Structure 1
């Protein structure tokens, strides 16, 4: 039975929320006011966490998918003795504080996932649950459940309107992820008004159809009813669980149950009314009763004792299964030896997507933390680990996932897999469909999460599938994003560099951009040099200082080399620079950049079969940019290339027209 202390704690969460939002003059108080009972019931009685060791590997993961309600999380963290002080609560939504407007994983110890864009927290939680199931299936042994934790989610009505939630819920149901439990804050209100104006679906029926176990709590203020639902969910052994908890947004406010209390501070009289509703009228702002903190002592003690018991089990596991324990220990510590990609015998004329597939399959046996796949294009993207099986609700140990045609969900799940710790999520699809994934890619960049995104079919060479499948602006769009490495290799050697960069990345996602058509293995391509982002692939002949530079990426590097031959034959002394990654080149020191692109050489040209916007930074405002700034057409690729004359001969003409013939006229 719920106690007076339970209710006092719930009211403290609500009072802290009002104080923090009023103090910040900004924020969302409606959701935390309504969800305080469910958040408290989960954290106090079920969440397996040690607040004094926020990185314990077998802890339960908690995701506040409705990230705008962050004060629910911060209040719970403070009261349960996570490293978040009342002074931190007072700095809610202030510059450099540990309590930003939406939870951020690298700012606040104990935050497992950065959330805010609705639906993505839910989706990443599916990835967290997949990671747990995968590691448990690989490493648990009879009597040794060394990986055994739940993923809990608090989602709101808005989350369920986002398509990415539906995509990933379907995958979770198909995989039977029974350690995924979602508490749905069903307050029936969105920012603009009642939920019914935009959504009257039976979500419970929909989720049941997707293979979920569904429950409903009629009264979101009834802690006992909430606890019974969570306990029922934990007894499910074959399905994820959705618990619909009917709540009242802005509980305690005169605006409760309406969109008026969804966000923003309220008047001081309204705030005073709410404090009085919670029994805090005579208390100072940010007041937390001592008995509330003491009330979390059993949760803290349980977490510490559970971690200690886990450590003791780990010692016995290590003695009983030393080889498995050795691998798992390195996975947990993220110290699995990196694969030696440089020594792979992968070379010759082939599509870079083919080289990528060979590399992936070659490195997996020694780097078995890769988990992912493709959005129904595995055979085309070459992202299937061919000697391993696909995950199913009966076997999770396989590294391959059937994502189906769900690009956004795939990307978000891969982020969750990576965020879990120990594993590296990766994805595959056509470059043009990066548009579907963009918000999840951006979220990976914000979270400094090194998810690997493989994109194939990178230009008009897609051919007969036409303009809907031919990327034009996508490379530049990805390059515009902060904290991501975009790498477009020219041949199999540079593709090895791309994968080497990807597996070594620890603080940013990597997008590997690959072509469909065969490309020649370039005589002087160099993996080590490619990892610096740009390098001199072919210099001016006979030791001459270059008079001009052609910069190219991917399949267009071979065009640049052919153009160089013709220009050098005319005495132009042209250098070819392969630039697979702008971001990596920008990380090099100025001295190295000068050796590749000397400031004294103003005759510059870029060749890339895509948008030319942005190349001015390397070729100058008056430099020559050979690219494509229009949509394509449906035709055989060879016919398209002939139609637009994207050839070495055209490159030579453009270079000569800009730098040779114009100088003669002058």
Structure 2
């Protein structure tokens, strides 16, 4: 049961709240179905005690306690003013406030000797007793239900059960492939079936994001079914982000999902998950101009770059079905890092891993997917997500023409940057300056990998409403365009020689 205390001091940084706020907060929360009570004076301890007692007796609804207070209480010249909100009181006003409280006016950081004792005998003892009672209760629970107690211990310590990934499939080569969101849904269900505390949902988009848990017993989380694993957040991206943050703090492993274009609504909560270092999983599908006819209002451009800019947030944009599998394996073992998983709406070919490198290379953030059959690469093709198979096709075409290229799949820049310098240089060799990056998103950030003399094929404008094939042609996401860019890079970086030298 939830209790929320609303401090009603009627002051904002700019002045009185009635400058811009006339809402009847109590009526609004009553309309939500909350239990609402009010304390007319923040210093009335008897009324506060009574309000908390009302909360403790309410077992069906959350409680809002509206407490009327005075900002800067006791400071004679600053009480009930906006200057008490964001400015220091100043030496003289502090002295006057201390006089109001009957406190030694010249004392600084004064903590009377009785205060630590009071806290130790109150909060300290109460906390110790509660902890001891909890541990005794858990010990009894452990004796009666050893398996469930084991789950609770693992959950609280952010561990995983034995065999947690045993149901995760391996996907065979498939030229047609599967949509990234579809593969992720399959993997998510396989993981949740073996990890009881993995749960989540979508901002009213689960049928599209493929995040519904469908195995027997998953169910919906409702008031009458608290064990349900599917959460219906409604059209509330920001609230969804805040809720999954709170769930993560309780040590369950939550995820929320939506369309990538709507990640902007959830951004403050996503940022806080990084700030708090909690392993929330934010799943975003419909990741590019690949949404086609939905047009530029629904086609993400700058979102991937902006998410990569958040410190401590790990962004994954896997390139085929088996990279999605490996991404989930990495994600589930994270204990402090939040993740954004970015997935395609459209089908992506599943690469033949007997011909190309294992998708397990994803664990290092970026890896060499394909190399020349003989010799050193003349040009590097760097890609993420649905553009990785495009880079592979260009690589094959270049090989037919006798040009040696390397394909580097870069699903997670953040993970790649955590690797040793030797590894990073082995994947993107400094002595191969001819480089082309390919990503259906803003090119912002790719300069770190292609350099000032490299070339980035990406989005430098908003998208357009048209079938995906037409959009790919319009914006240069074709084999022909990638091949031409690779050749231009080689020509640009070849040493200039004279006819006589040749």
* Partners of 2:492 and 2:19 in 1: CA distance: 66
- Deviation sequence 1:179-237 (CA, Å, 0-9, x none): 11011111011111111111111111111111211111111110110111011011111
* Partners of 1:268 and 1:299 in 2: CA distance: 32
* Partners of 2:52 and 2:135 in 1: CA distance: 27
2:370 matched to which residue of 1?
538
For the pair 1:336 / 2:164, whether they are aligned, the reply is: no
1:606 matched to which residue of 2?
437
For the pair 1:357 / 2:182, whether they are aligned, the reply is: no
* Partners of 1:661 and 1:249 in 2: CA distance: 66
1:226 matched to which residue of 2?
48
* Partners of 2:402 and 2:206 in 1: CA distance: 47
Query: Does the 8 A contact of 1:346 with 1:358 survive in 2?
Result: no
Taking a change above 3 Å as real, the CA distance of residues 338 and 415 of structure 1, as seen in their structure-2 partners, is farther
Q: How does 1:342-381 map to 2 (within 5 A)?
A: 344-347=168-171, 348=174, 349-381=177-209
Query: Does the 8 A contact of 2:158 with 2:335 survive in 1?
Result: no
For the pair 1:250 / 2:72, whether they are aligned, the reply is: yes
Taking a change above 3 Å as real, the CA distance of residues 513 and 271 of structure 1, as seen in their structure-2 partners, is same
Query: Does the 8 A contact of 2:95 with 2:106 survive in 1?
Result: no
1:202 matched to which residue of 2?
24
- Deviation sequence 1:342-395 (CA, Å, 0-9, x none): 872241410111110000100112112212211010111111111311111222
**DSSP-derived class of the 1:640 partner:** helix
**DSSP-derived class of the 1:519 partner:** strand
Query: Does the 8 A contact of 2:365 with 2:411 survive in 1?
Result: yes
* Partners of 1:314 and 1:344 in 2: CA distance: 32
For the pair 1:596 / 2:420, whether they are aligned, the reply is: no
* Deviation for aligned residue 1:282: 4.6
Query: Does the 8 A contact of 2:299 with 2:463 survive in 1?
Result: yes
2:229 matched to which residue of 1?
399
Q: How does 1:124-523 map to 2 (within 5 A)?
A: 179-254=1-76, 255-282=78-105, 284-296=107-119, 297-337=121-161, 340-341=164-165, 344-347=168-171, 348=174, 349-387=177-215, 388-421=218-251, 423-523=252-352
* Partners of 1:429 and 1:586 in 2: CA distance: 27
Query: Does the 8 A contact of 1:342 with 1:527 survive in 2?
Result: no
**DSSP-derived class of the 1:193 partner:** coil
* Partners of 2:99 and 2:405 in 1: CA distance: 78
**DSSP-derived class of the 1:238 partner:** coil
* Partners of 2:380 and 2:476 in 1: CA distance: 21
Query: Does the 8 A contact of 2:357 with 2:368 survive in 1?
Result: no
**DSSP-derived class of the 1:613 partner:** coil
**DSSP-derived class of the 1:608 partner:** strand
Query: Does the 8 A contact of 2:95 with 2:105 survive in 1?
Result: no
Q: Which has the larger displacement, 325-334 or 404-413?
A: 325-334
Unaligned stretches of 5+ in structure 1? 1-178
**DSSP-derived class of the 2:7 partner:** strand
Taking a change above 3 Å as real, the CA distance of residues 605 and 222 of structure 1, as seen in their structure-2 partners, is same
Which structure would you say has the larger RCO, counting Cα contacts within 8 Å and 6 or more residues apart? 1
* Deviation for aligned residue 1:641: 2.0
* Deviation for aligned residue 1:339: 5.3
* Partners of 2:399 and 2:406 in 1: CA distance: 9
* Partners of 1:338 and 1:630 in 2: CA distance: 48
* Partners of 2:231 and 2:73 in 1: CA distance: 42
Taking a change above 3 Å as real, the CA distance of residues 211 and 395 of structure 1, as seen in their structure-2 partners, is same
* Deviation for aligned residue 1:526: 2.2
* Partners of 1:418 and 1:661 in 2: CA distance: 50
Please list every run of at least 4 consecutive aligned residues from structure 1 whose deviation after the TM superposition is greater than 6 angstroms. Answer: none
Aligned-CA RMSD value: 1.8
* Partners of 1:310 and 1:549 in 2: CA distance: 58
* Deviation for aligned residue 1:583: 0.9
* Partners of 1:553 and 1:187 in 2: CA distance: 51
How high is the TM-score relative to the length of structure 1? 0.71
2:417 matched to which residue of 1?
586
Query: Does the 8 A contact of 1:252 with 1:274 survive in 2?
Result: yes
**DSSP-derived class of the 1:606 partner:** strand
- Deviation sequence 1:128-158 (CA, Å, 0-9, x none): xxxxxxxxxxxxxxxxxxxxxxxxxxxxxxx
Query: Does the 8 A contact of 1:339 with 1:363 survive in 2?
Result: no
Query: Does the 8 A contact of 2:397 with 2:483 survive in 1?
Result: yes
For the pair 1:651 / 2:482, whether they are aligned, the reply is: yes
